[in-house]
Amino acid sequence: MIELQALTKRYGGKTAVDHLTFSVRPGVVTGFLGPNGAGKSTTMRMILGLDNPTSGDVTIDGKHYAQLSDPFTYIGALLDAKAMHGGRSAYNHLLCLAQANRIPRRRVDEVLETVGLTAVAKQRSKGFSLGMGQRLGIAGALLGDPKILMFDEPVNGLDPEGIHWIRNLMKDLAAQGRTVFVSSHLMSEMALTAEHLVVIGRGRLLADTSMADFIEQNSRSYIRVRTPQPEQMRDALTVAGLTPVTVGDGSIEIQDADPAKIGELAAQNHLVLHELSPQRASLEEAFMRLTAESVEYHAGVPGVSGVPAPSDQPAPEQQPAWGANWQQQKQKKGQS
Amino acid sequence: MAAPSAVLQSEWTKVRSVRSTVWTLGSALLVTVILSGLLCLLTNAQWDNFGESDRAGFDPTSSSFSGLLLGQLALIVFGVLVVSSEYSTGMIRTSLAAVPQRGTFYASKVAVIGALALVVGMATAFLSFFVGQALLGDHSTSITDHGVLRAVVGAGLYMTLTVLFSAGIAMMLRSPMLGLGILMPFFFLISPILAAVPGAKNVARYFPDRAGSKIMQVVSINDDRPYGPWAGLGIMLLWVAAALIGGYVVLKKRDA
């Protein structure tokens, strides 16, 4: 169990991590999500004692990292794929780490086998691809057979095969009862692997919730209907007790409805349908809305907050995407 | 706490598993021995052209270490690289995750570097001495003569301390470019030049290399350094201690 207590890191006047309090529970994959620059890596470095917190505290099983004897047997971490001397062979890189933590030499061969680097064990890591470097970093994390594993953006820059491998590895590790704490800036990635979710933005905690709850709160489903007779369709839907909403492109969206029923309704009223599809708003959208105010660097997209659209182009129509105000709704719920 | 013996073993694996160790220490030995040998050969050949005072002040022992001026640059490169490559490669984060007790980590690293430098330094010193004396012919001295063994052993210690000084400075600067960019000109240019300038001379003789090299001298007729061989080495030791402590403070205080 990793516990953070009001953990804070300031660099000069800039606060990278701001009173972060949460804990990473054992036996599940906890996703640590935030936009670039949100303070994820800084938080992870403080967990490992590499950076000193300005204030607050972080412990692993109740101890500070530096108090752990042979720390790799408690917690293994992949912080950055290139945190190794390129002139050293993969085998020797792992050997020096094993020796420092009194891990038997045979573990080096075992983890090289696990990550599939046995064939290049004697080669210097300088010549490794990003994916191979990532695998070597993960081999280092697995070396001490630790109960807790921490990965910082493990899928960054990997090819689909590598991404698939890492996903399965994390699931396997959690299935073995280990604590897995993995950071990402991609919601879609987390949705596939994490059971629990910690979201931060500008160093602040935005959400600490189970993945199931997050999905439930943030991805309501709806039906999209396209028809050349929108007026009649809307009337028919309203008569049937549903609430149709016309969105920017002329299609109609209906919350909490059964597509079969809507199809039957259209047939009864002799309405032509061009589309009838159940929709689910992506978690990515929900995540972006959650972190929108805390994003460090906004891209200069026309029409997006603060950036005026060029006058020769019509500003894109603001679509009233559902769930836009979920935070406020949540607050209201909390108050009631 | 990490076991010191385990960390020593780990640091030894690190040092021996990169090529730069062999290259730098190997060239330090070869450059010193070959260059010293050549200068001894030249001295022997040109003996008749030397003036009276040159002959009187001739020190066969220190002559056989004359290649060290160049050879020590390779030692500096070793001392700087072995420390700062941890930073330039990003390995430091992995290293400190493996050994979070920074004092233990640093002490082990310094001990391994020092031990290796001592072995190579002593080998270089003795090899350089015997090759030099063989080439000096009639003007050579013997290891059994007064002060000669002290000078040879001292040369080995001087080389060890040079490596440790460089390692300490490198730990403070954390960058190979910065470390080499400051230490190389200092040892090769600034210190020797200042030692020849009348006004700066009195200060320059307390620099680590000037003070430390006193121990390699047996004949000191033309020397005005106001301290003996061991006191000189003591002064160098203070410099080394200051550099290593400075490195420790930086490592302890700053984020990796």
Chain A hits for B249, Cβ within 8 Å: none
Q: Do A66 and B3 touch (CB under 8 A)?
A: no
Q: What pLDDT does residue A249 have? A: 81
Are residues A111 and A169 located together in one domain of the fold? Answer: yes
Q: What pLDDT does residue B165 have? A: 98
Q: Do A89 and B17 touch (CB under 8 A)?
A: yes
Pair of tokens at residue A57: 């505290």
Are residues A16 and A147 located together in one domain of the fold? Answer: yes
Chain B hits for A130, Cβ within 8 Å: none
A70 near B CB under 8 A:
yes
Residue A131 domain flag: yes
Give the residue extent of every domain in chain B.
10-253
CA distance B137 to B61: 13
CA distance B86 to A87: 11
Considering A233, A253, A280, which residue would you say is the last residue of a domain?
Answer: A280
- Establish, for the pair of chains A and B, how many residue pairs have beta carbons separated by less than 8 Å: 94
Residue A308 domain flag: no
CA distance A3 to A56: 11
Are residues A9 and A66 located together in one domain of the fold? Answer: yes
Please give the tally of structural domains in chain A. Answer: 2
What integer is the mean pLDDT of A84-92?
95
Chain B hits for A72, Cβ within 8 Å: 97-98
Find the CATH number of the domain harbouring A177: 3.40.50.300
Q: What pLDDT does residue A279 have? A: 82
Q: Do A84 and B90 touch (CB under 8 A)?
A: yes
Q: Is the pLDDT of residue A52 over 50?
A: yes
Are residues A205 and A232 located together in one domain of the fold? Answer: no
Q: Is the pLDDT of residue A312 over 70?
A: no
What integer is the mean pLDDT of A177-195?
88
Are residues A39 and A119 located together in one domain of the fold? Answer: yes
Give the tens place of pLDDT for each residue, A259-288: 898 999 899 999 999 999 888 767 777 788
* Chain B positions touching chain A (beta carbons under 8 Å): 1-3, 6-7, 9-11, 13-14, 17-20, 85-86, 89-94, 96-101, 255-256
Of A43 and A193, the one with more pLDDT: A43
Given a contact cutoff of 8 angstroms between Cβ atoms, the answer to whether A287 and A197 are in contact is no
Least confident of A93-107, A192-206, B6-20, B95-109: A192-206
* Structural domain span for residue A136: 2-216
Are residues A151 and A256 located together in one domain of the fold? Answer: no
Are residues A98 and A155 located together in one domain of the fold? Answer: yes
Residue A273 domain flag: yes
Given a contact cutoff of 8 angstroms between Cβ atoms, the answer to whether B85 and B15 are in contact is no
What integer is the mean pLDDT of A297-304?
50
Residue A172 domain flag: yes
- Closest CB to B255: pick one of A50, A69, A77: A50
Q: Is the pLDDT of residue A324 over 50?
A: no
Are residues A89 and A229 located together in one domain of the fold? Answer: no
Helix axes B148-173 and B68-89, enclosed angle (nearest 10):
30
Chain B hits for A45, Cβ within 8 Å: 93, 255-256
A63 near B CB under 8 A:
no
Give the tens place of pLDDT for each residue, A245-264: 888 788 898 887 888 989 99
Q: Is the pLDDT of residue A318 over 60?
A: no
Q: What pLDDT does residue A295 have? A: 65
b or e along A258-278 (b: 16 or more beta carbons within 10 Å of the residue's beta carbon)? eeeebeebbeeeebeeeeeee
Break chain B down into helix, strand, coil percent, rounded to 5: 80, 0, 20
Q: Do B101 and A70 touch (CB under 8 A)?
A: no
Pair of tokens at residue A217: 């709160």
- Closest CB to B93: pick one of A66, A83, A93: A83
**Helix (H) or strand (E) segment spanning residue B33:** helix B19-46
Considering A164, A181, A216, which residue would you say is the last residue of a domain?
Answer: A216
Q: Do B89 and A86 touch (CB under 8 A)?
A: yes
Question: For a pLDDT cut of 70, what percent of chain A falls above it?
Answer: 86
Give the tens place of pLDDT for each residue, A26-42: 888 999 999 888 999 99
Q: What pLDDT does residue B201 have? A: 87
What integer is the mean pLDDT of A300-325?
42
Q: Is the pLDDT of residue A327 over 50?
A: no
A232 near B CB under 8 A:
no
**Where residue A303 falls among pLDDT bands split at 50, 70, 90?**
very low
**Where residue A13 falls among pLDDT bands split at 50, 70, 90?**
confident
Interface confidence (ipTM) of the complex:
0.92
Pair of tokens at residue A205: 């905690």
Given a contact cutoff of 8 angstroms between Cβ atoms, the answer to whether A214 and A197 are in contact is yes
Given a contact cutoff of 8 angstroms between Cβ atoms, the answer to whether B186 and B98 are in contact is no
Q: Is the pLDDT of residue A311 over 50?
A: no
Q: Do B86 and A85 touch (CB under 8 A)?
A: yes
Chain A hits for B96, Cβ within 8 Å: 48-50
Most confidently predicted of A123-127, A238-242, B159-163: B159-163
Considering A216, A239, A267, which residue would you say is the last residue of a domain?
Answer: A216
Chain A hits for B2, Cβ within 8 Å: 69-70, 100-101
Q: Do A99 and B101 touch (CB under 8 A)?
A: no
Report the residue of B16, B20, B82, B93 to disrupt the A interface, i.e. the one with the largest count of A CBs within 10 Å. B93
Residue A330 domain flag: no
Q: Is the pLDDT of residue A315 over 50?
A: no
Q: What pLDDT does residue A294 have? A: 65
Pair of tokens at residue A246: 């016309």
- In the sheet that A204-210 helps form, which strands lie side by side, from edge to edge? A75-78, A148-152, A179-184, A29-33, A196-201, A204-210
Q: What pLDDT does residue B59 have? A: 94
Number of Cβ atoms within 10 Å of the Cβ of B56: 11
A68 near B CB under 8 A:
yes
Are residues A200 and A226 located together in one domain of the fold? Answer: no
**Helix (H) or strand (E) segment spanning residue A17:** strand A14-24
Closest CA to A292 of A305, A279, A278: A305
Chain A hits for B22, Cβ within 8 Å: none
Find the CATH number of the domain harbouring A246: 3.30.70.1510
Give every residue of chain B whose pLDDT is below 70, as ranges: 1-2
What integer is the mean pLDDT of A98-122?
96
